[in-house]
Each structure stands twice: as C-alpha cells, then as structure tokens.
Amino acid sequence: GQNIDQPTEMTATEGAIVQINCTYQTSGFNGLFWYQQHAGEAPTFLSYNVLDGLEEKGRFSSFLSRSKGYSYLLLKELQMKDSASYLCAVRDSNYQLIWGAGTKLIIKP
Amino acid sequence: ETGVTQTPRHLVMGMTNKKSLKCEQHLGHNAMYWYKQSAKKPLELMFVYNFKEQTENNSVPSRFSPECPNSSHLFLHLHTLQPEDSALYLCASSQESGGVGELFFGEGSRLTVL
C-alpha cells in the first residue's frame, strides 16, 4: 500500500530551528508538496520538490531524496505564527496525491 | 473576492436532515475537489471534477452527493448522515486534475452530525 509517515507533534522554541521529516512509500513519484494549516484555516501551499536537493524560500526550506523516499521541511528563526500543522503529500505515478496525517508544530516562547 | 470560499463554515445537522455545502473558486481553475479531514488522519479525497465532469469518486457513500454546475462552483449535498461523518470538509481547486500544480484550499465547512 501507499504510505506517508510524519511525526504527529513537535515542539520548538521561538527563534530556533526545527526540521519536520516525511518518509514515503508510494507507487511511483511525481513530486512532493508541503502545506501549512493553521487551526481553523485552509491548508496553504509552502513548497514543491520533484528533484533531489534543497529548495529554499525565505525562512522555510524543503529537502528531497528520492532514493531514500525522504523529505524534510526546515523552518528557521521560528516565530509564534509558525505554530500550525504541516502536511506532507506525494504525487504518485497516477498523479494522485497521497497525504500524511500532518505534524502539529507547537512554538513556545 | 479571490481564492476559494466555502459556505457554511459550520453546520450542525441531525441524521435525518438534508443540507448542502457550497464551494466557489475565483481562480479560473478547471478542477475542483472535495476532501474530508478528520483529526489526526490524512486528508481523504472524496470527489474530483475536471472541466465539470466527475473524474473520481473514492468509494464515497451515496449519502454524499456532489454537484458541479460549472467550473467555478461545487456543491456537496448531504442526506441521512451518520455521526462518524462529522469532520472538516475541504474544497480545493487546481488548474486541472492530474497536473503538476498545487491545490488551493478553502477554509472548510465544519460538520457535526448529531
């Protein structure tokens, strides 16, 4: 079967760095997405990786290793507003999106 | 208005009621989706419409009935729901289904079935 694994919950301190991991086993691979979802709000697109390596976008970076079935989202200089759930999703060979259950990130002062 | 808007934001209904969720996108996209989001579970894809045609129905019970009158509007008609159907229902759109672009989500309709 197809599966996406990510930690259920993480806690970090304001100003610090946190890495949220995502591992996947899917039928083929056509890209990996990260979304951010604040409580009671819509998920919003953060990043897309289709080739191996690091994609940097401001304080957020996303890394992909296709051979390892692994990605991470790196958040730097954490702010209280970064408290949210982070969803990992992989597009399989049929271009279907397979979703992880999300990682709830709690930022403490 | 921009983006994807969903109404109502909150809905409480009994098991014998009939209600509808509405979604409207102002992005000029051709694909629209209904997802179910339950606590600590992955998003569950329910229905996909591409150019107004339903292209996917993920074995959703018939008590959920989608309708897509045009590329900008999507409805989810609800009838004789069960308490386990209580969840957040998210609408999303994309340029077209099966493409490489990202999804744009609405804020969801929080459904409680009593």
Q: Which residues pair with B45 in a beta bridge?
A: B35
For residue B98, the SS3 value is coil
Q: Measured between CA atoms, how close is A38 to chain B, in angstroms?
A: 10
Residue A36 has a CB neighbour count (10 Å cut-off) of 21
Q: Give the torsion sign (CA, A104, A47, A91, A37).
A: positive
Cβ A39 vs Cβ A52: under 8 Å: no
For A91, name the nearest residue in chain B, comparing CA atoms only: B100
Dist CA A77 CA A80 (whole Å) = 10
For residue range A27-69, what is the model confidence (pLDDT) as tens digits?
A: 999 999 999 999 989 999 999 999 999 999 999 999 999 999 9
Alpha helices in B1-110 (DSSP H): none
Question: Of A87, A88, A79, A85, nearest to A108 (Cα)?
Answer: A79
Q: Over the stretch B26-50, which tens digit does the pLDDT of each residue have?
A: 999 999 999 999 998 999 999 999 8
Out of A39-43, B11-15, B87-91, the most confident range is B87-91
How is residue B43 annotated by DSSP? -
Write out chain B residues lying below 8 Å of A31, CB-based.
Answer: 100
Is the pLDDT at A87 greater than 90, yes or no?
A: yes
The three-state secondary structure class of A11 is strand
Least Cα separation, residue B94 to chain A (angstroms): 12
Which of B42, B43, B102 has the CB atom closest to A45's CB atom? B102
